[in-house]
Amino acid sequence: MKLNIAVLAGDGIGPEIVAQALRVTQAVAKKFGHELHSTEALVGAVAIDATGNPYPEATHEICMKSDAVLFGAIGHPRFDNDPSAKVRPEQGLLAMRKKLGLYANIRPLITFPSLLDKSPLKTDRIEGADFVVIRELTGGMYFGEPQGRSEDGNTSYDTCIYTRMEVERILKLSFEFAMKRNKRLTVVDKANVLATSRLWRQIAKEMEPQYPEVAVEYMFVDNAAMQLIQWPKRFDVMVTENMFGDILTDEASVIAGSMGMLPSASIGIHTSVFEPIHGSYPQAAGKNIANPCATILSVAMLFEYAYSLGKEAALIRKAVEASLVAGAVTEDLTDDKSKALSTSAVGDWIVDYVNRVER
Give the residue numbers annotated as catalytic, written as ranges.
142, 190, 222, 246, 250
Distance from C-alpha of 188 to C-alpha of 252, rounded to nearest angstrom: 14
Environment class of 92 (CB within 10 Å of its CB; exposed 0-12, middle 13-18, buried 19+)? buried
Distance from C-alpha of 299 to C-alpha of 24, rounded to nearest angstrom: 8
**Which DSSP state fits 342?**
P
CB distance 274 to 68 below 8 Å: yes
Report which residue type is found at 137: L
The closest alpha carbon to 107, from 72, 125, 75, 131, belongs to 131
Distance from C-alpha of 258 to C-alpha of 275, rounded to nearest angstrom: 15
Please count the CA atoms within 13 angstroms of the CA of 220 that sit on its side-chain side: 7
DSSP H stretches of helix in the chain: 14-31, 45-51, 57-65, 77-80, 89-100, 123-126, 164-180, 195-207, 221-230, 242-256, 293-307, 310-326, 343-356
User: Kind and range of the H or E element at 72?
Assistant: strand 68-73
Distance from C-alpha of 221 to C-alpha of 247, rounded to nearest angstrom: 10
Angle between helices 57-65 and 89-100 (to 10 degrees): 40
Distance from C-alpha of 208 to C-alpha of 211, rounded to nearest angstrom: 5
The closest alpha carbon to 131, from 291, 239, 267, 292, belongs to 239
Burial 94-115 (b: 16+ CB within 10 A, else e): bbbbbbbbbbbbbbbbbbbebb
Distance between start and end Cα atoms, the chain: 16
